[in-house]
A and B are shown apart, each in its own frame.
Chain A
Amino acid sequence: MDWHDALDLAIPHPPPTSAEPAALVAAGKKAVRRRRAVAAGGTALLVAAVIGLGSTYAPWRDRAAPPPPIATQSEAGEALGSYPTQPPLSDASPLRYDFDTNEVTLHDGWEEAGRIERKEIRRLLGHDYSQLFLAATNGEKTVYANFMNPTEIAYADAAGTNGKSLGEWAEDVAAHHVEPRWSVGGSIRVGDGWTITREIDNPLGYDLPWDSEAAVAEREGMEVWILFTGNRPKGGGSGEGYGVAYAAPGQTIEGYIAHRDKEIDRDLAASTGGYSASMSEAVEFGDGSELVPAEDGVEILEQVADPDLGEKFADGASRSAAARITVNGKEQVAIAREKDGLTLVYTVEVADGPRSEDRDTRSLEDVLAMVKARETDPETGGGLFP
């Protein structure tokens, strides 16, 4: 059997994309600048370098189906505290580790029963896998903990590990990832060896086409909490995202969900909104910059000439206009520009928020402001109107 040919046939090709490498160059320059700033003692955060590139690089954006909504990235919002991964010492949570001082603190009556430090971790699991694996016991119960970093700490009741030593547990943790999967309307699935012990349907109270799903998954005495959110609009462009956290002793998944709910709401509040844009023949220019219906079922509710969508949109345009229209009763915004004898028309549809009470009707001005924000973004540069 020719495995190369068989695999080549089986491995799907990504949908075509017209994403411009220029945006990647811009992001690369930014990353290099930030790296230099950090190297020079600056405090710039490297992690932000790739934020905002999603729509430019998403290879699904240019599928033949209606393009997915384009969300505007959130701005820096109000900082929420990190989810507490190290609760106060108790018999349920008998050990803490200070990542700054490398100091281990144990609850009264507990003593250290094993430790694997970075050198050994590196040998077992690879470079920089985590800071410390630790076992603590009170004579009756033994707890294992994996301190990866201040926000990633795994705990397990040693009694639930099928007799594994701390070292064996460490290797097991590294080898078995929870790898959750979910689609809107379905159930959460997890990787081999993991078991869903509890599933919570739509814990965030989202309304269609949005949905949420949470689950507690367990493997060998260790629990993780999973929270998915996603949407599946009728016009296409579905998507899911998720967060996973190790269950912290004494904490509940409800607490984790409430924390994530606040984070998500904060991000949404700081966002300028999401929309989908697809090429359209619903309207065309009549006299001057006036738009007129070009298809049956199209009605123009209001329109403006020469909308302000930034210099790139206006540069060289012989005429342009935007209109709030209905297409077979469904409201959309049409944007048209004529340049060099070529007319481009897009219809824009604002993405629904996750909760129906947040789905305010957007005015023509609101939608144009969202489009302008994207089209004039210096990092991603929009791209609807070249």
Chain B
Amino acid sequence: MSAHDEAFSGFVAARRPHLVRTAYALCGDWHRADDLVQTALLKLYAAWRRVESGSEEAYVRTILVRAHIDQARRPWWKRERFGDLPERPAPAEQVEERSELFDALQALPEMQRKVVVLRHWLQLSVAETARELRISEGTVKSHSSRGLAALRTCLESGDAFRA
């Protein structure tokens, strides 16, 4: 195995679970999350030599966020993959395990959700969030404020951590 492949494999082994989780936070669907991460990692592989050491995760996250935006912008993005249905299960217990806060996060308008995930979960700065989402810093702040207000309402109205 080449040094390139070895380094890439090490990154994938170490960071894929977190990347899948990030994608799931963005899209709320394990199937799509897996697809997004797979696509992003393939792009990373192709660009590995060009990506500055230590920036791999940021590179993938950017692809992830923008790929999700690109996909979601298409009103009829489709997932016709009947042939591999059985290998991508969504066990019922996963649905039951979702907390109300997570459901509330998924119920946010798309850009609010992305801002909340990037800014408040991944703890990117306002400027970094704006750059990743290709929106202004002011828009980040307004999405952040509205998104958190909606989540706060959810927390106040029930036990958001009930599994």
Q: Are A7 and B83 in contact (CB under 8 A)?
A: no
Residues of B within 8 A of A264 (CB): 82
Q: Are B74 and A148 in contact (CB under 8 A)?
A: yes
User: Taking the complex as formed, is A24 at the interface, i.e. its CB lies under 8 A from any CB of chain B?
Assistant: yes
- Given contacts A11-B25, A241-B79, A3 and B92 within 8 Å (CB-CB): no
Residues of B within 8 A of A19 (CB): 16
Q: Are B102 and A11 in contact (CB under 8 A)?
A: yes
Residues of B within 8 A of A24 (CB): 8-9, 12, 38, 41-42, 45
In residues 1-51 of chain A, which contact B (Cβ within 8 Å)?
A: 1, 3-4, 6-14, 16-17, 19, 21-22, 24-25, 27-29, 31-32, 35, 49-50
Q: Are B121 and A3 in contact (CB under 8 A)?
A: yes
- Given contacts A50-B39, A178-B76, A236-B91, A32 and B45 within 8 Å (CB-CB): yes
Question: In whole angstroms, what is the CA distance A9 to B99 when docked?
Answer: 9
Query: B140: shortest Cβ distance to chain A, in Å?
Result: 14
- Given contacts A12-B97, A246-B76, A71 and B87 within 8 Å (CB-CB): yes
Q: Are B75 and A154 in contact (CB under 8 A)?
A: yes
Q: Is the interface of A mostly helix, strand, loop or mixed?
A: mixed
User: Taking the complex as formed, is B137 at the interface, i.e. its CB lies under 8 A from any CB of chain A?
Assistant: no
Q: Is the interface of B mostly helix, strand, loop or mixed?
A: helix
Q: Are B85 and A14 in contact (CB under 8 A)?
A: no
User: Taking the complex as formed, is A381 at the interface, i.e. its CB lies under 8 A from any CB of chain B?
Assistant: no
Q: Are B152 and A4 in contact (CB under 8 A)?
A: no
Q: Mark A255-292, 1 if CB is under 8 A from B, else 0.
A: 00000100110011001001010000000000000000
Q: Which of A14, A55, A241 has the most CB of B within 10 A?
A: A14
* B-contacting 9-mer, from A56-64, A97-105, A311-319, A329-337: A56-64
User: Taking the complex as formed, is A237 at the interface, i.e. its CB lies under 8 A from any CB of chain B?
Assistant: yes
Q: Are A243 and B102 in contact (CB under 8 A)?
A: no
User: Taking the complex as formed, is A238 at the interface, i.e. its CB lies under 8 A from any CB of chain B?
Assistant: yes
* Size bracket, chain A contacts: 35 or more
Residue on A with the closest CB to B9? Answer: A21
Q: For chains A and B in complex, what number of residue pairs have CB atoms within 8 angstroms?
A: 211
User: Taking the complex as formed, is B78 at the interface, i.e. its CB lies under 8 A from any CB of chain A?
Assistant: yes
* Size bracket, chain B contacts: 35 or more
Q: Are A244 and B87 in contact (CB under 8 A)?
A: no
- Given contacts A63-B91, A238-B89, A243 and B20 within 8 Å (CB-CB): no
Q: Are A49 and B42 in contact (CB under 8 A)?
A: yes
- Given contacts A4-B121, A12-B24, A21-B13, A71 and B91 within 8 Å (CB-CB): no
Q: Which of B24, B37, B74, B76 has the most CB of A within 10 A?
A: B76
Can you pick out 29 interface pairs between chain A and chain B where the beta carbons lie within 8 Å of each other?
A3-B148, A4-B120, A6-B160, A7-B105, A9-B99, A10-B105, A10-B160, A14-B17, A16-B17, A21-B9, A24-B41, A25-B8, A25-B9, A65-B91, A129-B74, A154-B75, A154-B76, A177-B72, A177-B77, A231-B85, A237-B91, A241-B81, A242-B78, A242-B80, A244-B77, A260-B80, A267-B82, A274-B86, A351-B86
